């Protein structure tokens, strides 16, 4: 079971068995061995948490996740409320024969829970389905923002932000500067890294903003390091890095920032990414893939994704191919732009929202389902090659800010392009004292879904191949084991479901959520299917 997830952390693995518990992964222990932690993720505020502990704790490692153990000793089931980061973990309390499991608020890291009819009373946890289905006949996606306690057998929600309900329309006034500063802080804390890192740069707004902020921070730290390293020669100072108050400290050296893109030859996103990289001064790597390479990778992609959702597979395939190339270069962590479209209503179908209340409710729904779509894609496409993806837009502070803004400000109108307020927050053209974050044509570039932006020929090829693989009669004949669930409506969807079935039993299908459009009759999730895709925003910037 543990071996099935070996690709996620090829540098470190182990297991621990005691009493009625069996955990696979790297176990971290407290002093007397009574608490054992298996964890996947990053805790960005771990230094602050260490300083706030009431009782001194003898840390055995420099791992940011080890702080979960003393936090549990002091705060019990309230521990995940204190964590700022992305995580899935199980903690075994040997003295109480008690197991605690928790997942980060949005579900950035994947996490599953399973049960077996052959071992009643046993409960299983893993980062991926493939670890559990050989043993478990019931598996669910562990809900984000929740904690499980074996003492009660209950799973309860610990993450309770004011926006969670979605039916209460927020009214906080818009503050462009606060949006900009909060996102900058989010990117800054995610540069806490002890491994070579880079940024995924599609050339779209979201990844470009993340890259722009990361590059500014990298340059700032490098310049500070050069000044401070002159003192290093005298043995008085160390290298610089980031701590949780965003001040300089002796943590890590930040080299030149590397950026990565992928697409079919001549893809719209690839050209835009090159332009952004040149503007920012990153060391850019523009990779290409062929349609055949993409088609050949589909089965492996579905195996790693553990999904048959059309949108997710279309976008994950190039990301999967790119992650393999990134891993080969020795890079182990990348920043990515997931979450922005959900938070700000950036998908083009949002133009059809009937009112601000419906707009806000849909953004909340999309954010709450990210663990079944874009977060799943980002996490598993990269983890397939031992690469870690971090997503600044899904920072708790940024989420609370962005989802509390009056949604009137987010509405797409004839004079306001999608994600207008995010673009405007980083538009410094009116202030000559502030350097530009991005070229104007990139900052105000219309949304291009990743699966479209890598080259329109990619989606066309998938549809053409599906038409070859799936006949009309086959499409009209769903498999009996699919039962009464929502059945594939297109040949492409049918094809993916068949490939999913080759890897996973029917018991795994319930963890998959398929994309469903709102305020639209379109059945294809491609951004091109939305008529407004080709509309020109003559007054986009007001």
Binding residues for ATP: 200, 262, 336-337
CA–CA separation, 142 vs 127, rounded Å?
10
Residues belonging to the binding site for L-glutamine are 64
Count of residues making up the chain: 542
Place of tokens 């479901």: 497
- Residue 26 CB neighbour total at 10 angstroms: 19
Q: Residue 478 is encoded by which pair of tokens?
A: 């769903």
Q: Which of 517, 335, 397 is nearest to 106 (CA)?
A: 397
Place of tokens 């999730």: 525
Q: Which of 60, 85, 249 is nearest to 159 (CA)?
A: 85
Q: Residue 182 is encoded by which pair of tokens?
A: 């909060």
Note whether 294 and 458 are within 8 A (CB).
yes
CA–CA separation, 426 vs 438, rounded Å?
8
Question: Can you state the angle between helices 456-469 and 291-305, rounded to 10 degrees?
Answer: 70
Strands of the 197-200 sheet, one edge to the other:
283-288, 258-263, 197-200, 333-335, 388-390
Question: Can you state the angle between helices 491-503 and 456-469, rounded to 10 degrees?
Answer: 70
Residues belonging to the binding site are 64, 200, 262, 336-337
Q: Residue 221 is encoded by which pair of tokens?
A: 């730290």
CA–CA separation, 188 vs 193, rounded Å?
11
- Residue 288 CB neighbour total at 10 angstroms: 17
Cβ-in-10-Å burial (0-12, 13-18, 19+) of 536 comes to exposed
Question: Can you state the angle between helices 268-280 and 205-232, rounded to 10 degrees?
Answer: 30
- Tell me the CA distances in angstroms from 384 to 71, 172, 174, 365, one per residue in order: 31, 40, 40, 28
């Amino acid at each position: 079971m543990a071996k099935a997830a070996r690709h996620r952390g090829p540098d470190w693995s182990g297991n621990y068995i005691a009493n009625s518990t069996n955990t696979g992964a790297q176990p971290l222990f407290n002093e007397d061995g009574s608490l054992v932690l298996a964890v996947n993720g990053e805790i960005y505020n771990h230094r602050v948490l260490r300083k706030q502990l009431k009782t001194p704790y003898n840390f055995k490692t420099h791992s940011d996740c080890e702080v979960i153990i003393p936090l549990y000793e002091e705060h019990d089931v309230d521990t995940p409320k204190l964590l700022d980061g992305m995580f899935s973990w199980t903690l075994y309390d040997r003295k109480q024969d008690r197991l605690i499991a928790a997942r980060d608020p949005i579900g950035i890291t994947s996490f599953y829970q399973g049960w077996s009819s052959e071992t009643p009373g046993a409960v299983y946890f893993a980062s991926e389905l493939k670890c559990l289905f050989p043993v478990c006949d019931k598996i669910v996606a562990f809900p984000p923002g929740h904690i499980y306690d074996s003492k009660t057998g209950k799973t309860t929600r610990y993450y309770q932000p004011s926006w969670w309900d979605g039916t209460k329309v927020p009214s906080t006034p818009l503050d462009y500067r606060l949006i900009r500063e909060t996102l900058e802080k989010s990117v800054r804390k995610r540069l806490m890294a002890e491994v070579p890192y880079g940024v995924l740069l599609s050339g779209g707004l979201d990844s470009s903003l993340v890259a722009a902020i990361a590059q500014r921070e990298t340059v700032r730290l490098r310049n500070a390091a050069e000044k401070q390293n002159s003192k290093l020669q005298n043995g008085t100072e160390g290298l610089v890095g980031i701590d949780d108050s965003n001040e300089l400290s002796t943590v890590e050296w930040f080299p030149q920032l590397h950026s990565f893109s992928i697409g079919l030859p001549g893809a719209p996103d690839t050209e835009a990414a090159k332009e952004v990289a040149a503007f920012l001064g990153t060391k850019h790597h523009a990779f290409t893939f062929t349609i055949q390479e993409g088609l050949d990778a589909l089965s492996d992609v579905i195996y790693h994704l553990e999904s048959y959702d059309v949108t997710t597979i279309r976008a994950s395939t190039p990301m999967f191919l790119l992650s393999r190339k990134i891993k080969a270069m020795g890079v182990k962590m990348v920043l990515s732009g997931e979450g922005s479209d959900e938070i700000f209503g950036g998908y083009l179908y949002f133009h059809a929202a009937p009112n601000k209340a419906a707009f806000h409710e849909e953004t909340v729904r999309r954010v709450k389902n990210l663990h079944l779509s874009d977060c799943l894609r980002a996490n598993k496409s990269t983890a397939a090659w031992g690469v870690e993806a971090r997503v600044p837009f899904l920072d708790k502070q940024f989420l609370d800010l962005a989802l509390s803004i009056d949604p009137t400000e987010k509405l797409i109108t004839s004079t306001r392009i999608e994600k207008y307020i995010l673009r405007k927050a980083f538009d410094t053209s009116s202030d000559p004292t502030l350097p530009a974050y991005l070229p104007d044509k990139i900052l105000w570039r219309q949304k291009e879904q990743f699966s479209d932006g890598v080259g329109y020929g990619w989606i066309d090829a998938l549809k053409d191949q599906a038409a070859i693989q799936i006949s009309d009669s086959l499409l009209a004949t769903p498999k009996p084991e699919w039962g009464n669930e929502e059945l594939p409506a297109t040949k492409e969807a049918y094809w993916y479901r068949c490939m999913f079935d080759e890897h996973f039993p029917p018991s795994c299908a319930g963890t998959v959520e398929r994309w469903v459009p709102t305020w639209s009759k379109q059945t294809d999730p491609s951004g091109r299917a939305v008529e407004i895709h080709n509309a020109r925003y003559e007054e986009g910037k007001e």
